[in-house]
Amino acid sequence: MKNNLFKYLSLWGVFILYFIFYRTVFILYNGSSFADASIEKLLLSYLYGLKLDLSFSGYMMLIPSLILAVSPVIGPKISSRMLAGSITLILAAVSIIEIIDLEVYSYWGEKFDAMHLKYLDNPKQITNSITFKTLVFPLLFSLFLFYAHFKITIWLVSRFSFDFKNRYYWQKPLLFFTLIALSLIPIRGGFSIVPFRLGIPINVGAVYFDPDNMAVNHAAVNTPWNFVYSMKKASKIDTHYDLMPDHVAVDLFSKINGAPTKGTPYPSLLNTPQPNILLIILESFTAKGVEVLGGAKSVTPELNKLSKEGVLFSQFYASGHRSNRGIGSLFSSYPGLPYNAIIENPFKTEKLPHLIKSMKEQDYQTAFYYGGEIDFANFRAYFNQGKADKIVSKLDFDFSSNNTKWGIHDDVVFDTLFNHLNKEAMPFFYTLFTLSSHEPFDIPVEPIFGSDNNEDSFKSAMHYTDACLGKFIAQAKKTTWWDKTLIVITADHGTTQINNTSNGQKETFHIPLLWLGGALTVTDTVISTIGSQLDLAPTLLDQMNINQPEYVYGRNMLSTHYQPRAYYSFGDGFGVLSDSISQVYNGEIDAYTHQQPSDNLPDYGRAIYQFISNDFLSK
């Protein structure tokens, strides 16, 4: 039995070596992309890449494990043949993906994924791109590898011949089914069983480690893992992007989104062109819990009070229903999709503008603080792409502070940020993303609204985070940097909690946006123009007279040419609202579930769905 276990683990090790081989080929084949990479960084790509290598090796081991588990029933001869055949086919499939990836990356600097399969719809594009190098080398290399696979597999099966003796009739299935179950741990990338909390489901961003050189991050990505993951993602959106003729969708989208505001006049709200900026993103902070926005009383007394000290945008909306949508909208002005989030696709976000990158180009010190796992929703990759100077997350805090399922309580993160800011050089652009108001609403204080149901627990968590915010602002007012600082307070998304609104209702997506700080020229001001998370970056950059990158979706909310509107995604649909209309399109039933003021509005919902989906697929 021990001998079988050793051989099983050895086979797993062979698969890991296989990926190490292809990572080496990838680096050598695309040598020009790694010309500036140090030996240390190249070696780190192997180390970080092990996360996804182990994960995909776990998938590769499932079929051999099943064959070994049933070998007492089907017999040693058939088992050996099935084992050799399955391993050969698995390695051949991996090789095909890896070889295609070599060519794709050499042309476009992108890892091969499901989105590249769209070129099969137009084979001429492929044939027109074929040269002697792109055809002959991959073909010869493939033939060589297929032959090598067969020989290696035969050697493996004979070298690691498993004991098929009858005395293991019951022990062997038990052993291998147990190993299959255990293989789910590396497949998933860890486990989150209290009190261990050693991981969340793994994603591509987990292997990104260098904010300056994307090539070494790409080398760390396991190619077949990325391809399969992208297939899963693409399957959820591909069926929803042909709802009307493209030119109709483009015209309708342009009409509702309004003309670009870049270069148009706007009032200035700042007393300095280069203020420190602190962006505070409050987890799930719905306007339904903020009294000054028409929400429940007494839930956020500090935010209510602070609203009188700055500029409150009273009709501000999230662009999606999850954090992964909201973060991409706030920093890159990119909308959320019903079935996908662009920040979970690092090779796509490389093509987007990034607020942190724009600030860094103006010599700002930049940082992102989050008390949770930085690999959640590909945050690590996304903020590395933004070239953040510092990323502070769960693992950077003392283990004794890590006493909730999600990570570090908000008071600890706020205190840490405050201490760091007092030592930071100016100007700075720092971001803090809270987490205590995320379910299960675990807070370190007595819940002020009780915890008899989810709504009460959520309101109690909002109240706790609000208190942390109030304490932080009170401390900040006493510092030397307050007079030159703009503090922007908003949320990542809303929620159906409080008043039980539906997932498509605009109230579910209504969130706060408050500007505070000594850098403001006005206080106690309410701007009631409808706006969206997509608009924060261009509005902020215009206020600072920074020549902003082109944002397809975002607009300057303060521009005299701004057309008020907001649109948001949910389960399988989009909602849209402006000063004169509101509309909710449900893709599951391909119908509008809400339209005002009449049922004869233009087909905005479908147009937005199609336009954004096509744009996403094209990146």
pTM of the model: 0.80
Which pLDDT band holds residue 102 (cuts at 50, 70, 90)? confident
Q: What is the pLDDT of residue 4?
A: 59
| Amino acid identity, position 379 | F
CB neighbours of 335 closer than 8 A, spacing ≥ 6? 319, 320, 325, 329, 534, 553, 567, 569, 612
The pLDDT tens digits for 506-560 are 999 999 999 999 999 999 999 999 999 999 999 999 999 998 777 889 999 999 9
DSSP 556: -
Average pLDDT of the chain is 86
Is pLDDT above 60 for 198? no
Q: What is the pLDDT of residue 193?
A: 42
Average pLDDT over residues 79-106: 83
Least confident of 181-185, 308-312, 414-418, 427-431: 181-185
The pLDDT tens digits for 337-359 are 887 889 988 889 999 999 999 99
Q: What is the pLDDT of residue 195?
A: 39
94-103, 190-199, 383-392: which is most confident? 383-392
So where are the chain's domains? 2-234, 266-562
120-134, 145-159, 251-265, 522-536: which is most confident? 522-536
User: Collapsing DSSP states into helix, strand and coil, what is residue 381?
Assistant: helix
Is the CB of residue 431 less than 8 Å from the CB of residue 367?
yes
CATH class of 266-562: alpha beta
Distance CA 414, CA 187 (A): 34
Enumerate long-range contacts of 392-396, CB under 8 Å, 24 or more apart.
Answer: 392/367, 392/368, 392/416, 392/420, 393/369, 394/370
Q: What is the pLDDT of residue 619?
A: 84
The pLDDT tens digits for 34-71 are 888 899 999 999 999 998 998 898 888 888 778 777 77
Is pLDDT above 70 for 157? no
Is pLDDT above 80 for 5? no
Distance CA 117, CA 120 (A): 6
Q: What is the pLDDT of residue 347?
A: 86
| Amino acid identity, position 532 | S
Sign of the alpha-carbon dihedral angle for 523, 529, 534, 539: negative
Distance CA 47, CA 265 (A): 51
Please name every residue paired with 344 in a beta bridge, in sequence order, or none if there are none.
none
Is pLDDT above 80 for 295? yes
Q: Residue 386, Cβ neighbours under 10 Å: how many?
A: 24
What's the token pair of residue 112? 């091969």
Average pLDDT over residues 408-433: 95
Is pLDDT above 80 for 77? no
Q: Residue 495, by phi and psi: left (phi above 0), alpha (psi -120 to 50) or beta?
A: beta
The pLDDT tens digits for 569-615 are 987 789 999 999 999 998 867 889 899 999 899 999 999 999 999 89
